[in-house]
Each structure stands twice: as C-alpha cells, then as structure tokens.
C-alpha cells in the first residue's frame, strides 16, 4: 500500500508500507513509475492534516503520562524529554519497549531512540539499525558515525553537495576539517553536527497541554541577578497560584522557562509529592534551583507553567479543639529532600512476594503505603545484595550448620547454628533456577558474632546446586 | 550562691528559647531501670543527637549497632510517626529492621553519596519537625557537624540518631557534641537446651554522655517492639540477680 500526494505537476508517493518498500518503492517516487514496478499497488490519498492531528494527540498523551516536555519533530516524529522521567516508568529500556507496544496497538510501526540530546535521538530513530536504540551519554559519536549524512536533517542542497564530495556517512563528515566545511556549506551544517554530538544546545518547543495554567513575565531590561530572579519568581507564583485557586487545582510538576537574550532557553523543573499551591513551599523549592539558572547576557522573559496539575480542594480543619497541635505535613519535607538528592533517591521499602531475600524488597514512592513482610525466620538488618563467597567451610552434609568458615581473611569457629531454612529458586522468573535450592543458616561464632549464610544446593541432589557457601548478611 | 542560682535560671531560659517552645526535657526511656537510672536525663533526650557505632569492624557488630538504633527509632515513632533513614551504602535490609520494631510504614529511606550530603539531608529532616526521628549513616562527623545537627534537632524537636560506620580506626575517637555515644558489640547468645541460636545479646557500652559517667552492660537484643531486656540468667552478676524475674516479664 502507498499514499500519494501532488507535488507540482506530478503525483508522487508520500509514504509506503513495509511490503511496498521491500518491493523497491520509496517515498518521492512518481506514481506512474511505482505502478509500473508493482502493478497491483493499493494507492490512497495522503492525509497530512489527519496525520498531524494524530501526532498531536499522541504527543498530548505522552505529555500527560510520560513527561511534560514533548515536542514535534518534523511531521512524523515526537521528541520526549525524558530527563528525570524514565525511572518512573521502569527505566529507559522498559519505557521504550512499552511505547513500541502501545504504538503497535494503535496500528503504528514506531521507531524509538533515546540519546542524551534531541538531534542524536532523531537521527538514530530515523536511520538507526534497530527499532529501539538506547545510546548512553558520550557514545553519540560512535553510534552516529555509520549513519548517512541525511540523518543530520541537512537541507537538500547541502546533502547533495556532501554526496558529491564523497561524504556519505556522519563519521566521514566529522573527520573532515571544519574550516573548509564551513566555507563550502555554511555554519548551519556544523551546528547540526554539534547538536547531534551534544556540543551545542538545541532548545525544543514543547507542546504543553493547552489548559495548563501558566504565568508569564516580560522584562523591559534583561535581568541576571539571583535576587531579581527570585523576586520575579515570587511575582509569577502569585499570579499562577491565583489562577490555580480559581480552577481548584494544585501543582504536582512546575516548569520554569527563562528565555535569554541570546535565544537560549533555561529550564528548571520541580516536582511535588502531593498537589500544592502553597506559595512559601513552592518558592523555597524554586529558590534552591536559582543557582542552576545560567542567565548569560540576561533573561528577558520568564514563564512559569504548571506542567502537571491535580484537583485540590480546601483542606478540612480538624473540628476537635482538644486535639493535639497539628503536625507539619510530611509531603513538604519529601519535596525538599527530593529536590536536594533527586526523586529516585527517596523512597519507602515494601514487600514483594518472593522468598529470595534480594528480591523481597522493592522501592515505592514516599507517600505510598508499604506492605509489611510476613512474619518469618529472623532476617538480618544488613544484607549483601551480592552474596560473597566464603572459604574453608567445614560442615556435615546434608543439613547441619557449618562449624568453621573463612570470610574476608578471618576464620570464624562457629559454636551455634540455626537452619537450614530452605528457599527454592523461582523458575517462573529465570529458567536457570528451576532446580536451584538455597539452604540458609544463622550461625554464631565463639566471640558472639552472628551471620546469615547459605549453601547452594540441598546437599543430596547435585542438580540443586554446587554446594558452595556464601555470606549474605550480618545478624547483629 | 545567688549568682549560681541566677546562672542556672538563665541557662534554663536559654534552653527553653533554643528549643522553640517544645519541651526540652522530654525523653524517651528505655524502659529498663538498669539503663534509665544511669542516664543523666532518665532516657534519651527527644530533641538531641545520639551516636552509636559498632564495637569492632565486624559485620555482625555493624548489624547490632543498626538494630540498636532501629529499635530506638521505632519506639520513638510509635504507631504513626515516620523515621527518615539516610543511607550512604545500599545494604540496609528492611525486613530485618521490621523485626526490631521499625515497621516499613514508619520507614522512609533517603540515599546520599557523601557524608556531607547525608548530614545535609539529616539537617533538613530534623529542622522540619514532621518526623519522629532521623537516622543517618556516616563515616565521619566531627564537633562542628554534630553541633549543627544538635541545633537542627532542637529546632524541630526531632531525635537525631547518628550511626558511625567503620572506615579507619575507632569511629568514636573523634570528639563530638552528641548527648550520648554508644558502642554496640555482639555477645554470645544464651545457651538453649536444644541446638540453635538463642535471642541475640549485645555488649552495650555508653562511651560518653553529657552530665554523667559512661557504663557498660550485657543486654538482650531488641524484640519486635524495639525493647531491650536484661539477660535472663546473669548468675555471675550478683547485682542484678534479684531483678531478673520482672525484667523477663517486661
């Protein structure tokens, strides 16, 4: 199948499906030639407006569900700024795989790339070898080198000129001295290259949900001092909070955009664990980030956008006058600490239904309610998430606690021991664990030191483990 | 004489102002006469810094010191309070803490990389006043750092518990302005009539306290409510032999 549109006097292909591409059809080919190559071609009219609307809808969906910063990339792509958002969706790889599945359900064949800047991700998504490409920071040059020069979004004449010079790949182009390139093709080509390698910034123009409450300030004179910026933020907050109050909303994510006189944009994002419109609290969160704003030659406009807002009604004041004094709200403290060390570093620990100790704990958001662990055998307060091997173990098979072992260069003579507590491998998670068994022992040595050890295997059947001994925790 | 009295009154007034209206004398007792009677204030001051460290570099002693603080923090939090635990390494195992009286619903964990970050997050938590206690794991905290923590603890009325983890040499060798400094080591557990490990015992040493001498005691480890106990059969310790019956019941 192919869609067609009219370009000047000719009807040319706008897009082709996978089967058509396999038969040699490419976008931009005249329809008559395509018909000659594939006689039974199914031809439909292209619908650029409909495509654009669909793209906008997906973009808005992504802005609500994944990250507030979503921008259009050409007529057929989306940029998602995942800074600080990927871990909320289980990491970059899982997020990418989930998005591919989501697009497949919509009937779209998507290609996704994640890189440290928009240009590199764009190039890898459109021209990379895989449908899902993850490129970590610093690897852009290596990842982009084999891609065609066109992946840099050069204009047509520059791309043709490159081809005439024999520069087909980005790697070849990067190896050419910069001076002659600028003289021949202009500055733009090198700017695109620098953007792709992450040497030059490329601000994106986000599609924020249309109804996001926002406040804006324009300055007659560019500002740059920290106190002036703080005062401007205070004014913006007053304005924004008034709007939020009218709409009955509180902010969960706040975006401060500062436009500099040199057309660069500075961005500060803060998040709140619970919807709020407390000015003092938001001002404190933003105030700590002022030092991260680089005013350059001055800022001439500032915008404060409630990128994520949730309904927030009036709070109920306890009717009981005799009740104890109201305690300060922990949600504000969570925002303050998360702003200092990062959201992913503040969490509660909750139970997972798994007997394998390393897997029995998972992290949940600080305001969620954790599930307690079932009452079981004693567990140590300190756990080596990677068990360390111990040597020179003397133990009777199959299930007596060990008498002696050496760990970290010290030999422990054990006088007491509890066990074994047998934990079976979880074959439904990894097929290698089908027969695996761990026998756990809590042991105490002559000096009173208590440890939590395990042996791989049940001591009878060699399929259950190799009888090696491991240190897992200190019992205290 | 009159001058001394005036000074005393002034000191009390200054303490009251520094504690920002909260009762500066509120303490958390251990519920064990053997300890509480020997502490200058009859317990651990609610708004103050308390330090603990493992007696030796052993992983077991480290775990014992962890459980000792977990028990205190759990009892301080009660049923609805929250404890912020600032860690630098990722080897804290919450199921073990839950068995020492610090339930997962009371525990909020923050990860910071360097000592300076740990202390900064602790201060933040202490100042805010919404938490019951803040536990921080540090390698080193000197006089200045603990003094800052003490001021933050007084401001928020929150208990600060500082867990020194061994790096090089005795972690309690450095001076500090903590109200109490504890050294916890694991000791052989009670012999059971059957093979097995009995309830853990610790050698609990109060290395220093403000306004009183230190002491050292053999105690049974925290139970599921975070309470310590005196050993059941101290037949070789005549000064405690007559009280063992009621301690066991407590």
**pLDDT value, residue B242:** 47
pLDDT at B24: 58
User: From the list A332, A341, A372, which residue is nearest B103 (CB)?
Assistant: A372
> Do the Cβ atoms of A360 and B105 come within 8 Å?
no
Which residues does chain B have within 8 Å of residue A346's beta carbon, measured at their own beta carbons? 108-111
Distance to chain A for B98, nearest Cα, Å: 8
Residue A159 near residue A149 (C-beta atoms within 8 A) = yes
Interval B37-94: pLDDT, tens: 999 888 899 889 999 999 999 999 999 999 999 999 999 988 778 999 999 888 899 9
Give the model's pLDDT for residue B246.
Answer: 45
Residue B249 has what pLDDT?
A: 43
Q: CB–CB of A344/A286 below 8 Å?
A: no
CA dihedral angle for residue B103, residue B105, residue B106, residue B107, rounded to 10 degrees: 90
Q: Is the pLDDT of residue B245 over 50?
A: no
* Complex confidence, ipTM: 0.82
pLDDT in tens, A72-81: 887 888 888 8
For the stretch A385-415, pLDDT in tens is: 889 999 998 988 778 889 999 999 999 999 9
pLDDT of residue B207: 92
When pLDDT is cut at 50, 70 and 90, the band that residue A269 belongs to is confident
The percent of residues in chain A predicted with pLDDT above 70, rounded, is: 96
Judged against a pLDDT cut of 90, whether residue A374 lies above it is answered with: no
For the cut 50, the answer to whether the pLDDT of residue A325 exceeds it is no
Kindly identify which residue of chain B lies nearest to residue A471, measuring between CA atoms. B59
Structure tokens of B59? 């992983």
Q: What is the pLDDT of residues B202-217, one digit of tens each?
A: 999 999 998 889 999 9
Contact assignment for A337 to B189 by CB distance below 8 Å: no
Residue A130 CB contacts under 8 Å (≥ 6 apart), including other chains: none
Q: Are B197 and A366 a contacting pair at CB < 8 A?
A: no
**A210-220 per-position pLDDT tens digit:** 567 888 999 98
Give the whole-angstrom CA distance, residue A286 versus residue A289: 5
pLDDT of residue A234: 92
Percent of chain B with pLDDT over 90: 51
User: Regarding beta strands B107-111 and B133-138, do their DSSP bridges make them parallel or antiparallel, or are they unpaired?
Assistant: unpaired
**Which chain B residues contact residue A360 at CB under 8 A?**
95
In a 3-state reduction of DSSP, which class is residue A274?
strand
Cβ contact B109–A347 (<8 Å): yes
Residues belonging to chain A: 476
Residue B170 has pLDDT above 90, yes or no: no
CB contact under 8 A, B70 and A381: yes
Indicate yes or no: CB of B104 within 8 angstroms of CB of A327. Answer: no
Of residues B59, B67, B128, nearest to A328 (C-beta): B128
* Mean of all residue pLDDT scores within chain B: 86
Question: Could you tell me which chain B residue has the CA closest to the CA of A355?
Answer: B95
Give residue-wise pLDDT tens across range A16-69: 888 888 888 888 888 888 888 888 888 888 888 888 888 888 888 888 788 878
The closest of B168, B207, B167, B160 to B185, measured between CA atoms, is B207
Q: Do B110 and A332 touch (CB under 8 A)?
A: no
Could you tell me how many helices (H) and strands (E) chain B has, helices first? 8, 10
Residue of B nearest to A375 (CA): B99
Strands B49-54 and B180-187: parallel
Q: Which of A373, A379, A448 sits opposite B186 (nearest CB)?
A: A448
* Cross-chain Cβ contact A476/B202 below 8 Å: yes
Of the listed ranges A5-9, A94-98, A206-210, A440-444, the one predicted with least confidence: A206-210
Nearest to A383 among B61, B93, B196 (CB): B93
DSSP 8-state assignment for residue B121: H
User: Domains in chain B, please, with CATH?
Assistant: 30-187+197-249 (3.40.50.300)
pLDDT in tens, B5-14: 888 888 877 7
Q: Mind listing the domains of chain A with CATH numbers?
A: 2-46 (3.40.1170), 49-197 (no CATH), 214-311 (3.30.1490.100), 382-474 (no CATH)
- Between the alpha carbon of residue A57 and those of residues A89, A167, A357, B74, the distances in Å are 20, 38, 44, 49
Most confident of A179-183, A342-346, B235-239: A342-346
Strands B180-187 and A265-276, bridge-based pairing: unpaired
Residue with tokens 């018909």: A35
Q: What is the pLDDT of residue A445?
A: 92
Who has greater pLDDT, A138 or B202? B202
DSSP A186-245: -HHHHHHHHHHHTSS---------TT--EEEEEEEEEE--HHHHHHHHHHHHHHHHHHHH
Q: Is the peptide bond before A420 cis (omega within 30 degrees of 0)?
A: yes
Chain B CB contacts of A473 below 8 Å:
59, 63, 93, 96
Token readout for A365 is 């958001």
């Amino acid at each position: 199948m192919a869609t067609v549109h009219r370009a000047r006097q000719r009807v040319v292909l706008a897009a082709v499906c996978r089967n058509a591409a396999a038969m040699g059809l490419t976008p931009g080919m005249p329809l008559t030639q395509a018909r000659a190559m594939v006689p039974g071609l199914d031809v439909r009219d292209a619908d650029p407006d409909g495509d654009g609307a669909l793209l906008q809808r997906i973009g808005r969906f992504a802005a609500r569900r994944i990250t507030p910063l979503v921008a259009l990339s050409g007529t057929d792509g989306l940029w998602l700024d995942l800074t600080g958002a990927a871990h909320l969706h289980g990491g970059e790889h899982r997020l990418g795989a989930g998005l591919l599945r989501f697009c497949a359900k919509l009937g779209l064949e998507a290609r996704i790339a994640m890189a440290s800047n928009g240009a590199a991700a764009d190039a890898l998504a459109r021209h990379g070898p895989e449908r899902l490409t993850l490129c970590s920071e610093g690897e852009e040059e290596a990842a982009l080198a084999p891609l065609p020069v066109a992946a840099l979004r050069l204009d047509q004449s520059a791309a043709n000129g490159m081809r005439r010079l024999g520069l087909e790949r980005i790697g070849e182009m990067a190896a050419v001295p910069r001076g002659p390139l600028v003289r021949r093709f202009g500055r733009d080509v090198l700017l695109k290259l620098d953007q792709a390698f992450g040497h030059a910034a490329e601000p994106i123009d986000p599609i924020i949900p249309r109804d996001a409450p926002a406040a804006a300030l324009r300055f007659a004179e560019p500002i740059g001092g920290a106190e002036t910026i703080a005062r401007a933020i205070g004014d913006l907050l007053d304005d924004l909070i008034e709007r939020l109050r009218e709409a009955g909303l509180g902010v969960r994510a706040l975006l401060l955009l500062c436009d500099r006189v040199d057309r660069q944009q500075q961005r500060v994002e803060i998040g709140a664990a619970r919807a709020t419109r407390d000015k003092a609290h938001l001002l404190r969160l933003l105030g700590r980030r002022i030092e991260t704003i680089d005013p350059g030659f001055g800022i001439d406009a500032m915008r404060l956008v409630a990128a994520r807002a949730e309904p927030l009604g009036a709070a109920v004041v306890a009717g009981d006058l005799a009740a104890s004094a109201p305690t300060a709200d922990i949600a504000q403290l969570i925002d303050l600490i998360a702003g200092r060390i990062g959201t992913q570093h503040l969490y509660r620990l909750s139970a997972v239904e798994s007997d394998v100790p390393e897997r029995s704990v998972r992290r949940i958001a600080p305001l969620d309610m954790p599930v307690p662990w079932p009452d079981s055998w004693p567990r140590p307060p300190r756990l080596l998430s990677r068990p360390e091997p111990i040597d020179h173990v003397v133990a009777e098979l199959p299930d007596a606690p060990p008498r002696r072992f050496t760990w970290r260069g010290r030999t422990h003579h054990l006088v007491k021991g509890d066990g074994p507590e047998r934990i079976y491998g979880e074959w439904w998670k990894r097929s290698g664990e089908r027969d695996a068994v761990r026998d756990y022992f809590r042991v105490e040595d002559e000096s009173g030191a208590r440890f939590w050890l395990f042996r791989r295997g049940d001591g009878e059947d060699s399929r259950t483990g190799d009888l090696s001994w491991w240190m897992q925790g200190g019992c205290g | 004489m009159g001058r001394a009295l005036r000074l005393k009154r002034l000191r009390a007034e200054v303490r009251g102002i520094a504690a920002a209206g909260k009762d500066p004398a509120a303490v958390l007792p251990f519920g064990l006469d053997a300890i509480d009677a020997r502490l200058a204030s009859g317990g651990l001051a609610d708004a103050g810094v308390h330090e603990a460290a493992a007696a030796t570099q052993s992983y077991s002693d480290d775990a014992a010191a962890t459980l000792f603080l977990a028990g205190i923090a759990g009892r301080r939090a009660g049923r609805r309070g929250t404890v912020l635990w600032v860690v630098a390494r990722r080897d804290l195992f919450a199921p073990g803490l839950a068995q020492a009286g610090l339930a997962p619903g009371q525990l909020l964990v923050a990860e910071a990389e360097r000592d300076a970050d740990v202390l900064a997050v602790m201060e933040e938590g202490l100042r805010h006043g919404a938490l019951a206690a803040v536990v921080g794991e540090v390698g080193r905290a000197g006089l200045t750092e603990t003094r800052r923590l003490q001021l933050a603890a007084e401001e928020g009325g929150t208990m600060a518990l500082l867990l020194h983890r061994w790096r090089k040499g005795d972690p309690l060798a450095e001076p500090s302005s903590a109200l109490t400094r504890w050294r916890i080591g694991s000791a052989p557990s009670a012999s059971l009539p059957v093979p097995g490990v009995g309830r853990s015992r610790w050698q609990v040493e109060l290395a220093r306290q403000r306004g009183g001498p230190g002491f050292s005691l053999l105690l049974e480890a925290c139970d599921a409510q975070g309470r310590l106990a005196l050993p059941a059969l101290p037949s070789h310790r005549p000064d405690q032999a007559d009280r063992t019956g009621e301690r066991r019941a407590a």
